[in-house]
Amino acid sequence: MFFALVLLSLGQLGTALPGGIPVVPIKGVQGPVDFPLLGIGTWQYNNTVAKTSRVVWQPLPLRVHDPQFRAGFQQNMAVVVAELPVKQRRSVVFAEEPSSPPPSSILSEQARLQRMMQRHEMSVSATRQQNLETIVPFARDCQKRLDSLHGWESHGIHLKQQEATEAMKVVEQFVLATSNSQFPVTVLDGVLHEDMCRAFIDVHEKVGFARPPSLLEHLVETSMEDFEDGEEEDLLVKLAYEQAKNTSELVQIESSDFADYLWEKLEHYLPERHQNDRGFATGVYEKCGVIPVFRFMRYQKGQGFKAHRDPSRSYVENPVKSSASTHGEPGIYKSFFTIALYLNDPAVFEGGKLNFVKVQVDQSGSKEYESQASVCPAVGRCALFAHDELHEGGGVQSGTKYMCQCDVLYKWVDTVISAFSLGYRHVDTAAIYQNQKGVGAALAEMKMERDEFFVTSKIPGGLNASATAAAADACLEELGLKFVDLMLIHFPADFGKNGSAKERQTEWTALENWAKSGKARAIGVSHYCRRQLDDVLKVATVPVAVNQVQYHVGMGTAPTTSTDDRDYMRAKGVLYQSFSPLCGPCNPPDNTELLNGTLITGIGARYNKTGPQVALRWLVQQGIPVIPKSHVAAHQKENADIFDFNLQAQDMAILTAAKRPAVGGGPSPQDSGDCGILEEEEKVMVV
């Protein structure tokens, strides 16, 4: 029997679900059920925040004559443009489910995601307002001149007559040694037909190439008289550097037809999902399409684009008009990949290669750029690469080079999709979380077979028979499922802590009847201590499969009032499951003890693992399933990377003997609070 095992080695863990997560058996309604040792918790998660909780930010006028604005301008630009590395592993205030309903003062996951959306909108709004003074009028003028020439189609560019993609071929693919991306630089020939390339060059020469304006240039032109000492010189230096960096001339055009044309040809070569660990909008993004903004560039003798990384383009609504079902849908949209298209052949120009470079710094601190790989231009050739790759457009030594550049759009996706993309197959939710519709929508969007994932839900405690069935049915309706794999009674009383043995027995019997109709494969409880479990066992005809309680490093030798009597649960054949495995509800400083505490990180260093990975491994190695919660993809991946090592016996013993952090969220560090429900009333109650 499973519960006779104290420690499970890697070889003793079974794997049943397609995600590769090991499983342990639980007692189901009709027999054993495989229960994943790892799931994604969704307490305080609401995946609809980006769609329905948007805050509309009104753009402010660009106050170029306001000294206070100018003083903070460089800092504001840095906030808007920079892709800063994440410096803090996770916000621990609300990292896990607490052992009691959350106090209103704690920032919820919904509020957290809303804050991320607000910051994204602020960034987009600021950039949009800056562009209104510079590139927007320039692009609008380009479009007007093209329209006056009767557009592309009148010049033989027929985008809706899609060419066969069989003519395309991959020339080469390579991953740069310095790359932060797993996406290889991909070079394809035959993306554009030679006649189309020639027509693009001809029509845009008629439109007229010109140097695009810059924000710095705009500030210099409009604010010269207001500069204080040193400001003018500093801005002019920056402007000179910017102008020398990219000396190309531009025609900028919008076209949904061209975006569709390229997407049909290139979608296959781009990753379905991209994990972004930079800036504040971290997480997993799914590809949407080609942004319908095209920068046609002309490089003549002496012109080039010095070493740089392409900026990420950000939107608060989907700009890809070809996606009729999602165009205009609000969300967090960013670009991560560049499409570089070459329109003419090196036979008519010299130089102009796309060079991927790395930085070399000499003893004096001077930077030099050394080439790692190069892509030679060719008619109709395309280079796909991540924005983060440091590259340059080599200077043209003679003749004229023509090219076009655009970007691939991705949309931030919710916690469940992010986790499942990393191999998770178990999601834990509950009626009280008010997120089951979002969880169900995410599961439906992934279009998996029903036996490929595991869903746990919970109904409130303290319900009568009819309310129990109604609450459980409501969970199925919200999730859009015919059955759940595991349904738990969330608390041994109502959330006001009003309950009794008789009420627990009534609710359990009603849940059994509901489950026997095929609506749950297994049923169990949460927050139940020994005496509350006994109440249920007296009337149970279906096994109590699971008791989900708070348990983590620091509670290994804690009294039964803290652990809800772990050993007794095992003796009764009830699987003991941990929520808050990293002690999210613990009070500071204990709430960071399992993230970066000395004990946990010291042990982790011996295994090349992080503190959280050690804390989670200590649990699953005992056969205790865990449901850590995070909407950050990097943390989800870290939490899942715990099945490739075993903690040695001495380290398991050290972790078991640890006294910190104690149980969090209860009335005291020695008491979870679960057993104290109406104790005096129940002493005199006859069942």
The catalytic site residues sit at 433
User: Element (H or E) spanning 126, and its range?
Assistant: helix 109-132
DSSP per residue, 394-435: PPEEEE-EEEEEEEEEEEE--HHHHHHHTT--EEE--GGGT-
- DSSP annotation of 35: E
Give Cα 374 to chain centroid, integer Å. Answer: 32
Considering only CA atoms, which of 42, 9, 40, 37 is closest in space to residue 21?
37
SS3 content of the chain, % helix, strand, coil (to 5): 35, 25, 40
- Please tell me the distance from the alpha carbon of residue 316 to that of residue 474, in angstroms, as a whole number: 33
- Please tell me the distance from the alpha carbon of residue 450 to that of residue 219, in angstroms, as a whole number: 58
**Whose structure tokens read 């348990």?**
551
Tokens describing residue 318: 């989907």
> How many CB atoms neighbour CB 12 within 10 A?
13
Task: Please tell me whether residue 232 adopts helix, strand or coil conformation.
Answer: helix
- In the chain, count of helices (H) and strands (E)? 22, 26
Facing residues of 169 across strands?
189
- Please tell me the distance from the alpha carbon of residue 229 to that of residue 231, in angstroms, as a whole number: 6
Tokens describing residue 391: 């590259």
Q: Is 667 left (phi over 0), alpha (psi -120 to 50) or beta?
A: alpha
Task: Please tell me whether residue 360 adopts helix, strand or coil conformation.
Answer: strand
- Please tell me the distance from the alpha carbon of residue 188 to that of residue 384, in angstroms, as a whole number: 8
Which residue type does 622 have?
Q
Give Cα 398 to chain centroid, integer Å. Answer: 46
CA dihedral 644, 566, 494, 428 (to 10 degrees): 10
